[in-house]
Amino acid sequence: MQNMTMLAQSPPLTAHEALSGVFGSISLAAWIFLLVPQLIENYKQGSAEGISLAFLTVWFIGDITNLAGAIWAGLVPTVIALAVYFCFADLILISQCIYYNVKNARRARKVSTRSEDSVEQPLLGRRDSSNMGLPGSHRRRSSALSRRRRASSLPSLTEEENKSEWVKNTLSIVGVCVVGAAGWAIAWQTGVWAPTPTADDAADGETPLGASILGYASAVCYLGARIPQIVKNQKDRSCEGLSLLFFMLSLLGNATYGAGVSTPTLQSFDLY
């Protein structure tokens, strides 16, 4: 009730303030759903070989320093809660990657041991195959023909899968934007979100030096986290195992955040 009274007494919302709120809310939604596509991709593949653990570790350090800086600076509880969520989500993805890496490494060792124990089987197979006559040649020709047919259909199947993937990613991006915009509208209507005059920000006092240092350290981690992943992709000559939507959401979050900050005559806002 108090929020509704404050909303009624507040001056009309300007277009710039509304755009700032919408962009900020979309950015927040993108960061909240950011890791979900990669978690799903790892689960489908049963592997996490495509993603660099160094990338995730540096990213996690960035989230940890962000959380510590938010607590030190005494930011609003919403910001601290989000920082805790980001750290928790990082731990889930890192744990999943470690689990699949250990599991697949053990499986590879078992396969290697079995292949060493059965080293004589190829010799026996060749000796037995020498006793087979010409009637098997028809089956070999049929299997070769079926393989050629499957190979000729692979390009069309791959193209259809790529189109389907792009459609899913596009719909996901649109969905995140809709959720973000709707979240801002609800927050504004209920009085949870409200633009704060710039003068109030100056009256809040200076940020503690330690919190500022942690904030800069967090920014450096975020900027440098992708370097290990780029190096890994270059070495592997492949991006297989990576979710494109994961990076699209990251780009969306950065772009909308930058758009919200750079909107002219913008005023900052707080979430209570």
Residue 106 pLDDT > 50: yes
Q: 189-241: per-residue pLDDT in tens?
A: 887 766 665 544 444 568 899 999 999 999 999 999 999 999 999 999 999 99
In a domain, 58, yes or no: yes
**Mean pLDDT in residue range 5-34:** 80
In a domain, 121, yes or no: no
Quote the DSSP letter at residue 35. Answer: T
**Mean pLDDT in residue range 167-192:** 92
- Give the phi and the psi of residue 130 in degrees, each rounded to 5: -70, -20
Residue 271 pLDDT > 60: no
pLDDT of residue 258: 87
Domains of the chain: total: 1
In a domain, 256, yes or no: yes
Q: 44-56: per-residue pLDDT in tens?
A: 999 999 999 999 9
**Mean pLDDT in residue range 3-15:** 59
Q: DSSP 3-state assignment of 55?
A: helix
pLDDT of residue 226: 93
In a domain, 182, yes or no: yes
In a domain, 8, yes or no: no
pLDDT of residue 267: 45
Task: Tell me which residue of 50, 36, 34 sits closest to 97, measured CA to CA.
Answer: 50
Place of tokens 């010799």: 123
More confident residue, 33 or 154: 33
- Beta-strand ranges (E) seen in 72-222 are 193-195
Least confident span in 98-102, 123-127, 175-179, 194-198? 123-127
Choose the most confident range, by mean pLDDT, from 90-104, 125-139, 252-266. 90-104
Which are the contacts of 213, defined by CB distance < 8 A and separation ≥ 6?
Answer: 69
**Mean pLDDT in residue range 167-171:** 94
In a domain, 39, yes or no: yes
pLDDT band at 256 (very low <50, low <70, confident <90, very high): very high
Which are the contacts of 17, defined by CB distance < 8 A and separation ≥ 6?
Answer: 195, 266, 267, 269
Residue 43 pLDDT > 90: yes
More confident residue, 175 or 119: 175
- Structural domain range at position 200: 16-113+160-261
pLDDT band at 169 (very low <50, low <70, confident <90, very high): very high
| CA pseudo-torsion sign 219, 225, 226, 230 | positive
Rounded to whole angstroms, how far apart are CA atoms 220 and 213? 11
Token representation of residue 39: 């978690």
In a domain, 11, yes or no: no
Q: 58-83: per-residue pLDDT in tens?
A: 999 999 999 999 999 998 888 899 99
In a domain, 131, yes or no: no
More confident residue, 94 or 12: 94
Q: 107-140: per-residue pLDDT in tens?
A: 988 887 776 666 555 555 555 555 555 455 444 4
Task: Tell me which residue of 163, 174, 166 sits closest to 33, measured CA to CA.
Answer: 174
Q: DSSP 3-state assignment of 271?
A: strand
Determine what percent of the chain is predicted with pLDDT higher than 90: 54
